[in-house]
Amino acid sequence: MEFVVHRHDEPSPNSIPTGRKYTSCRLLLSRAGFLDLANKIDRVVKTMLERGEIRRITPPSPTSKSN
């Protein structure tokens, strides 16, 4: 499992935002360890959603282009 952080470059007018992705941590877990970690993260996310601390973002639906 690999965790990454995103570092954004300074914004400039009229340009697309840019940045880089850096590995912050790599974990080697047993299957049981992975499942335990995944369950704990899931519980934390559910609690934060219930408290309104975070919200889910629905990805935009793909637009169909006619040729």
Tell me how far apart the alpha carbons of residues 64 and 58 are, in angstroms, rounded to a whole number.
18
The one-character DSSP state at 13 is T
- CA-based angle 7:42:40, to the nearest 5? 100
42: Cα within 13 Å, side-chain hemisphere: 6
Is this model's pTM higher than 0.75 or not? no
> What are the tens digits of pLDDT across the range 21-50?
999 999 899 999 999 999 999 999 999 999
The alpha-carbon radius of gyration of the chain (Å, integer) is 18
